[in-house]
Chains A and B, each alone.
Chain A
Amino acid sequence: MRWSRRSALTPGRRGFPVAELEAVIGLEIHVQLATKTKMFCGCELSFGEEPNIHTCPICLAHPGVLPVTNEQAIRYALQIAAALECEVAPRSIFHRKNYFYPDSPKAYQISQYDIPLASNGRLGDIRIHRAHLEEDAAKTIHVGESGRIHGSSASLVDFNRGGTPLVEIVTEPDLRSAAEAASWARLLRETVRQLGVSDVNMEEGSLRVDGNISVRPVGSEELGTKTELKNMNSFRFLERGIEAELARQRELIEAGGTVAQETLHFNPGDGTLTPLRSKEEAHDYRYFPEPDLVPLAPTEAMLREARESLPELPAARIERYREQMGLADDTAALLATDPETAAYFERTAKEAGEGVEPRVVANWVTGELAAALRQADGGASAAESKVEPAALAALVAMVQEKKISNSSGKAVLATLVTEGGDPAAIVEREGLAQISDSGELEAVVAAAVEANPEAAEQIRAGNQKAIGAIVGAVMKETKGRADGGEVNRLIKQKLDS
């Protein structure tokens, strides 16, 4: 039980003990689909061009026009539903969401209401409440001092964006911290990106994430009053915004206040939150079924196509790497967000065969190889590099079998990066084969011990660190071809004898 110091010390406050509060966070995500044309008309999607050059009577809501649904948007939405393991409604319909605003030319948005396309899914540890299709609003530029709604004199409306297909995804309030929310949002982003259905770029607006945030005493099952948080256009801002709001709600409750339901705008400049008198506040949208469109009844063929079109998505891949291949969590996560490198890793592991653990291969790929590529090439990817998976596999095996030392291995890798080729040939050419003849090595060790009597004395006296000097001497003599562990062993053996 955490007591609020302030309330205990301040007379006149209610000063009741405040139980430990936990965060309860849900996310509302809008994904702009990368179709060629808009949701309900054949205008092309636009990217920051001149205003009003991708419009037609339909998306300008002229009298008499009618919407016609884009089949690719349905396909993409079904793929998202499949990726999020949702149940797809056998028959879903569109609804009109009625509200007046210049960016809403029909004065209603065609969306889905009580029968969405998909529901009851999950991604990672978070449950998906629903996913549905709708159309994006147009863009309003407020011409005035601050460029925001308040304090401007006129607005200019550009309908290029109006009508872009959107999938809205709503999670259950399963998230428990700002960090978890940002991390999960990244997983969602990567998952959708790998489907190829959207650019999901937060800075460009093809991915928008709003938060629904409340707090409640730990152990309570009831939900507190939630606020809605908007305008966080990066994962970092998402985390900061949620943190700021959680702090605000906690302080408010500890001071004896209650959280009011409101919409807050995140200010990226200083990380503060401003209540919005948004067009959506306490609005009655008067939803009713869209009479101009007929229901969607996804066929078995459409559902199968969606399922079969899924690549192995990040969540599943992380799972497989961890469970079946024994990779560490962060290595698995790293590879899962980089499908090309992941494919490279898997080819290499296959070439290396059963003698080499995948974990070892993964560490080479994400560690040594990545470092070597950064050094040489300024960041080419593994798949683009000259290092063939078979070559890397052979190299890893050689090091594992102690045919060459670790440091020799790095040297060979550097050569592979610049020239490509076969590691065995490089080892031979450069004379990097590990000294496997223990006799030869013993002789070098003996010579090194003799040449370093002070170090030998210290080691015998118990200072293990002094061994470094002798190891170094051996390495120098052998040009790094000796196995470090073996050298250590032989030195100790020599000194003990």
Chain B
Amino acid sequence: MTGELSGILEHVDRIAALDLDDVAPTSHVVELENVLRADVPHESLPQDVALASAPDPVDGAFRVPSPQAE
């Protein structure tokens, strides 16, 4: 994996050599602004549907192991 990654990085590193100081980076492809949604409630999922795919549903909540004890 490391070998593959360095090979790829070598290739992408080519762009580092380009002089693009005066160029603005593209952060958004579409020229849109202020696309907003009205503050109107939609129907939320019933609790059982929200938990339907949960690997470990407990008492209506998603159970996960805790971070390791210190």
Q: Mark A residues whose CB is within 8 Å of B.
A: 35-37, 41-44, 50-57, 60, 68-74, 91, 93, 102, 141-142, 144, 149-159, 277, 289, 291, 293-299
Contact = CB atoms under 8 A, between A and B. Distances in A.
Contacts of B28: 93, 289, 291, 294-295
Interface in B7-44: 27-30, 32-42, 44
A36 B59 CA distance: 26
A36 to B, nearest CB: 5
Contact of A91 (B33, B44, B58, B63): B33
Given A154-B66, A157-B64, 20 more contacts: A37-B40, A42-B37, A43-B42, A44-B41, A51-B47, A51-B60, A51-B61, A52-B51, A53-B47, A56-B42, A57-B45, A68-B35, A93-B28, A152-B66, A155-B65, A159-B62, A291-B27, A291-B29, A295-B33, A299-B34
Contacts of B70: 150, 277
B60 A52 contact: yes
Given A50-B60, A156-B61, A157-B61, A55 B45 contact: yes
B69 interface: yes
A68 B37 CA distance: 6
Contacts of A91: 33
Contacts of A142: 66
22 contacts: A42-B42, A51-B59, A53-B46, A53-B47, A55-B44, A55-B45, A56-B42, A60-B45, A69-B35, A69-B37, A71-B37, A74-B36, A93-B28, A102-B64, A154-B64, A155-B66, A156-B63, A159-B62, A294-B32, A294-B33, A294-B35, A295-B34
A68 B36 CA distance: 6
B58 A156 contact: yes
Contacts of A53: 44, 46-47, 50, 60
Nearest to B38: A71
Interface of B: 27-30, 32-42, 44-47, 50-51, 58-67, 69-70
B64 to A, nearest CB: 5
B47 A52 contact: yes
Given A156-B62, A157-B61, A70 B42 contact: no
B25 to A, nearest CB: 9
B39 A35 contact: yes
Contacts of B58: 156
B59 A156 contact: yes
A426 B5 CA distance: 93
Nearest to A68: B37
B61 A52 contact: yes
Contacts of A151: 69
Contacts of A56: 42, 44-45
Given A37-B39, A43-B44, A55-B45, A294 B64 contact: no
A159 B65 CA distance: 17
Closest 4 CB pairs of A and B: A42-B42, A72-B39, A71-B36, A156-B61
A42 B40 CA distance: 6
A339 B41 CA distance: 31
A54 B38 CA distance: 18
B47 to A, nearest CB: 5
B62 A37 contact: no
A294 B27 CA distance: 9
Contacts of A37: 39-42
Contacts of A150: 69-70
B1 to A, nearest CB: 20
Contact of A158 (B45, B61, B67): B61
Given A52-B47, A53-B47, A71 B39 contact: yes
Contacts of B32: 294
A59 to B, nearest CB: 9
A68 to B, nearest CB: 4
A35 B37 CA distance: 12
Contact of B33 (A55, A73, A297): A297
Contacts of A289: 27-28
A142 B65 CA distance: 9
Contacts of B64: 102, 154-155, 157
B41 A42 contact: yes
B59 A70 contact: no
Contact of B44 (A54, A72, A93): A54
Contacts of A102: 62, 64
Contact of A41 (B42, B50, B62, B63): B42
Nearest to B60: A51
B9 to A, nearest CB: 17
